[in-house]
Chain A
């Protein structure tokens, strides 16, 4: 038996060593080949893309065209990376670029392109590919002259594009007895149809309109207005602008059953169309088609559907959303990569890709061929996407990506939460003015003196080491301790190295970065030293910071006490010896091991304003009092959004509960018996025995909950994205957005350190004051 155990142990150790060596060897061999093979007969290119609505099919089409390219170009091999959806894609791209090892050819969307050009990551493509045969607006989307999109050098060749319009449920139009939309329909036609369908019966809603930044601007264009004038200056006082926005607000809030407003509650509006009870949904592009093609025909319980372009207001307008293949400025093999890019945007690949239904080819010839036009499968109105190009524009945004983000947030306050439109516009204008006035927005700063900093860190470390060496405790001669200490240190070395490299290093780096302006896209030496500039802006000009701190503080105040009380109560209930109590313990713990994303989606339905679980219970209870249940993540989000998250947190108390349970089971039963003999009732026993005996556990759980509550992210990211407005903008959500959506890594580092400071201060405060109510050694006598 013993020898078998020994054998298995040896085997495990050998396998572990083998795996480690193999992993290192693999990397070494690859790196060696890369260095040796640079420019020689064999070239390896790296291609990165994401798979959106196309899913696995998109994966396969890219893969097939890459293999075909390899076949036609002997000597070039292509490695493909697909990190998942576009969010994960850009995070990956960002880190690859920052580490100086970007993919050679990769997807680039038109709205992020300027940021990447600014970071010097995209190669100019003029002359590489003939773009005359492409839909010109799609090509213009990837031109950038340093100030505006639409002119200047080309930084990406569009691989596909889409114009916007509404998808409509033909069957509901038939039932309502109204004509299908024409290609020239107006907003009046639209709202008339929505009202007709909305009044069909209780279960149907006229339409769902999404209010994403570029979609909203396209809708403004149809009324001949915009928030940016021809010079790119913000306009907020145009009466047409207000009228258009207010019309949208009024459709949503002043009428019953016309507009759904589902997006506000984290529901995916495009999926709601699949239920068959929504008349129209949009404005969407082509990207929803693959999933809508799954809708069964009416004979099988589904419905007929089709596409209509964006309705006309005083003018016809549309916008273009497009994704390109771009080339890395720092590619090791620019020539081969250019060849690959040309192949990937060429007619063969485009034709293959458009058969999916997802993509509209950017080559007009391919688009108008039967590779794309297919009258046999819905949407039947394929031409409408192409015809809209004639009056479509690419939305030009200011270089500061936060503009479009804040635009959505402020508009959402009115369009999703029904708050005063004038105040939203004014607030947005204010924000933009302050942002532009910020010294960080304009001034040039000196480069970050990394060398000096490194020198300082090295000096400080040496001083510390020397001090440590001289002040080490003297060890009597002949003692076994030094060698023990040495082996102890050696055994801890792998962890120590790991800690220094993967934890302490990045932590210190982020501290240094918080004094810089760095977009996180280029290498570190592009960071500029701004001194305390980030912190000045955080405290002085950044209202979102204070708002996110307020939201997070509100959450902490609610979630920590409620969660801990609930966890303790449940633990006390579970601390009995009923038959089958193990089942209940497992059941209460289970949610804690579920994925946060799945749980978040579940709770979107729990807190839905209409028909959600919570409100279905509250409604009959509140009705006699003349009250309505809150629209948690919608109209009433300012007060009820955060409490909803705190309630949701109760689902996650499994960990705390287990620790409480362990603590409760550690309390000797005699104490309770002694107390009951002493005349203490159940309440007295709880306050005089249970609580004091749990002191250390309460402290531990409390601090853990405190720290955890400051770091809420996933739930809010999935469920509300921080909205409406900034009503649920948790601190880490804001931090994430700064770092990975707005590419302001220095600023985000500053935010991270402030969060650390706040949490640290609170923890110290709690620990300092805990002596009065926490009795250690209480658990054991």
Chain B
């Protein structure tokens, strides 16, 4: 187990494309950190730099205190689980699991084994130890019965378990996961998510996990690193990221359905004017400097209200989710989503007055490109 530190880690590809622009992060020993962001944001590249599969252009990466910039992947003592499993298709599950350990035996010269009985004995002992470790890992993941099979005879979920096992069995200092669940179907994905979580608790290992799925990120990570266009946007616990996004990108990226945004103007009295409507937002928005701004409201915070108080919208669609209903609303050319309790009937095409509720889930951002958060509730 080890902590991982990245200082100003940069990756510039030949041709000038800057995939990662100065990545700073300290990952504590035993922490589960998830790198999340849209595709092309540099999260996979960062992970591959940590793994040693990509060179690092600038900055340093340290594992357990040792800078590993120039250390080969095989010598970093890490294990990685790939999106499409990357199982060796021509080897049995058992050989897939033991491949890494066999490469790392201290006694593996067949020639010397041939010449020295002592060496031969040690080699056999090591091999036996590897068999035991493989057996343990297989038990842990419930793949004991498949050890003799070839990967092509396994289902997607089973293959993913084998891939996990291959990492487990190595007992590395750091586990790296590159979107390991995205090839699985939705149900299996949720199951495996839980298993991963349990596994992390049992192993207390440092794990770095990459995904583009913010829901997966939220459920798995101790801490989330939200990235966009090669830059770290925010590093925080899932709750903080959700409730206190630092900018409009993070606010929009995290949460389903996504946050509603309305462009407008903060008036000197702290109220927010957009189009023909003016809303009084109350605390803590009174202290915001007047001027152009963007109001962000989580769908769960956009609530029906009395006529004449908020925005009068037309209901475009009604999506039933069981105990909740998502309303797709249209107001002055903008589309909003409002998530409400399914205690009331809504008719498509009808008119509905909504306003930001007085609880959590209302944010005010700067109107510029970065959209720094001005105030949150």
A777 to B88, CA, bound (A): 12
Bound form: Cα–Cα A678–B72 in Å: 11
CB contact between A679 and one of B103, B151, B152 (< 8 Å): that residue? B103
Interface check A781, CB cutoff 8 A = yes
Q: Does A184 contact B (CB under 8 A)?
A: no
* B88 & A688 in contact (Cβ 8 Å cutoff): yes
71-90 of chain B: CB within 8 A of chain A: 72-75, 78-80, 82-90
Q: In the complex, what residues of A have CB within 8 A of residue B74's CB?
A: 676-681
Contact between chains at B151 and A677 (CB < 8 Å): no
Q: Which single member of B80, B87, B100 contacts A673 (CB below 8 Å)?
A: B80
| Chain A residues, Cβ within 8 Å of B72 | 676
State whether the Cβ of B104 lies closer than 8 Å to any Cβ in chain A: yes
Map CB proximity to B onto A629-672 as digits: 1 under 8 Å, 0 otherwise.
00000000000000000000000000000000000000010110
Q: Does A437 contact B (CB under 8 A)?
A: no
A673 x B89 contact (CB < 8 A)? no
Min C-beta distance of A89 to chain B, whole Å: 56
* Number of A interface residues in the complex (CB < 8 A): 22
Residue in B53, B84, B104 whose CB lies within 8 Å of A781: B84
**Interface digits, B92-107 against A, CB 8 Å rule (1 contact, 0 not)?**
0000000110011000
Whether B151 contacts A689 by the Cβ 8 Å rule is no
Given contacts A692-B90, A693-B89, A775-B90, contact A676 B53 (CB under 8 A): yes
Smallest CB gap from B76: residue in A = A677
Q: Using Cβ atoms and an 8 Å threshold, which residues of chain A touch B89?
A: 693, 775, 777-778, 781
How far does the alpha carbon of A689 sit from the alpha carbon of B88 in the complex, in Å? Answer: 7
Does B251 sit within 8 A of A, measured CB to CB? no
Q: Is A423 an interface residue (CB 8 A)?
A: no
Q: Which chain B positions have C-beta within 8 A of A679?
A: 74-75, 100, 103-104
Closest Cβ–Cβ distance, residue B209 to chain A (whole Å)? 16
Residues 124-180 of B at the A interface (beta carbon under 8 Å): 151-152, 159, 166, 170
Cα separation A670 to B170 with both chains bound (whole Å): 18
With A673-B82, A676-B72 known to touch, is A778 a contact of B90 (CB < 8 Å)? Answer: yes
Within 8 A of B (CB), among A543-585: none
Check: A674 CB closer than 8 A to any chain B CB.
Answer: yes
Residues of the B chain whose Cβ atoms lie less than 8 Å from the Cβ of A673:
51, 53, 73, 80, 82, 86
Contacts of A675 in B (CB 8 A): 88, 99
A670 touches B84 (CB 8 A): yes
A677 touches B80 (CB 8 A): yes
One digit per residue, 1 when the CB lies within 8 angstroms of any chain A CB and 0 when it does not, for chain B 256-283 equals 0000000000000000000000000000
CA distance A676 to B86 in the complex (A): 12
Within 8 A of A (CB), among B47-87: 51-53, 72-75, 78-80, 82-87
With a cutoff of 8 Å between Cβ atoms, the chain A residues found around residue B80 in the complex are 673-674, 677
A695: interface (CB < 8 Å): yes
**Contacts of A434 on B, CB cut-off 8 Å?**
none
- Please, how many residues of chain B have a CB less than 8 angstroms from a CB on the other chain? 28
Most chain B beta-carbon neighbours within 10 Å: one of A680, A693, A781:
A781
Complex: A692 Cα to B95 Cα, angstroms: 14
Inter-subunit contact B90/A670 (CB<8 Å)? no
Asked if A247 CB lies within 8 Å of chain B CBs, one says no
Q: Give, as a whole number of angstroms, the nearest-CB distance from A689 to chain B.
A: 7
Cβ–Cβ contact A781 & B87, under 8 A: yes
Residue of A with least CB distance to B78: A677
- The residues of B that contact A391 with a CB separation of less than 8 Å are none
Chain A residues closer than 8 Å to B103, beta-carbon distance: 678-680, 684
CB-CB under 8 A from A775, the residues of chain B are: 89-90
The answer, among B52, B85, B100, B152, for a CB contact under 8 Å with A678, is B100
A103 vs B83: C-alpha distance when bound (angstroms):
73
Q: Is the CB of B152 within 8 A of A781?
A: yes
- Point out the residues of chain B lying under 8 angstroms from A688, CB to CB: 88, 99
Chain B residues positioned under 8 Å from A670 (CB to CB): 82-84, 86
Question: Considering the chains assembled together, what is the distance between the CA atoms of A200 and B141 in angstroms?
Answer: 88
Chain B, Cβ-Cβ closest to A676? B73
CB-based nearest A residue for B53: A673
Task: Give the residues in chain A near B83, CB-CB below 8 Å.
Answer: 670
Q: Using an 8 Å CB-CB cutoff, how does the interface string of A754-778 with B read, 1 for contact, 0 for none?
A: 0000000000000000000001011
Chain B residues, Cβ within 8 Å of A678: 74, 99-100, 103, 166, 170
- Taking a contact as CB atoms under 8 Å apart, the answer to whether A677 and B90 are in contact is no
CA distance A676 to B152 in the complex (A): 22
CA distance A688 to B88 in the complex (A): 9
Determine how close the nearest CB of chain A comes to the CB of B105; give it in whole angstroms: 10
A693-B90 in contact (CB<8A)? yes
Interface centre among B53, B78, B85, B88 (most CB of A within 10 A): B88
Is A781 a contact partner of B85 (Cβ separation < 8 A)? yes
* A676-B73, A781-B151 known; A671+B99 contact, CB < 8 A: no
Contacts of A695 in B (CB 8 A): 90
Q: Which residue of B lies closest to A674 (CB)?
A: B86
Q: Within the assembled complex, what's the spacing in Å between the Cα atoms of A775 and B87?
A: 14
CA distance A688 to B170 in the complex (A): 19
Chain B, Cβ-Cβ closest to A670: B86
Q: What residues on A are CB-neighbors of B152 within 8 Å? A: 777, 781
Mask, A677-712, CB within 8 Å of B = 1, is: 111110010001100110100000000000000000
- B79 CB to closest chain A CB, in angstroms? 7
Interchain CA distance A677-B89 in the complex, whole Å? 17
Q: Nearest residue in B to A781 (C-beta to C-beta)?
A: B89
Return the 9 tightest CB-CB contacts between A and B, nearest first: A678-B100, A670-B86, A679-B103, A775-B90, A692-B90, A679-B74, A674-B86, A670-B82, A676-B73
- In the assembled complex, 23 residue pairs joining A and B whose CB atoms fall closer than 8 Å, in A order, are A668-B86, A670-B82, A673-B53, A673-B73, A673-B86, A674-B86, A675-B99, A676-B53, A677-B78, A678-B74, A678-B170, A679-B74, A680-B99, A688-B88, A689-B88, A692-B88, A693-B89, A693-B90, A695-B90, A777-B89, A778-B90, A781-B84, A781-B87
Besides the known contacts A676-B72, A677-B79, A678-B100, 16 further A-B residue pairs in the complex with CB atoms under 8 A apart = A673-B51, A674-B86, A674-B166, A675-B99, A676-B52, A676-B74, A677-B78, A679-B75, A679-B100, A680-B74, A684-B103, A689-B88, A692-B90, A775-B89, A777-B89, A781-B151
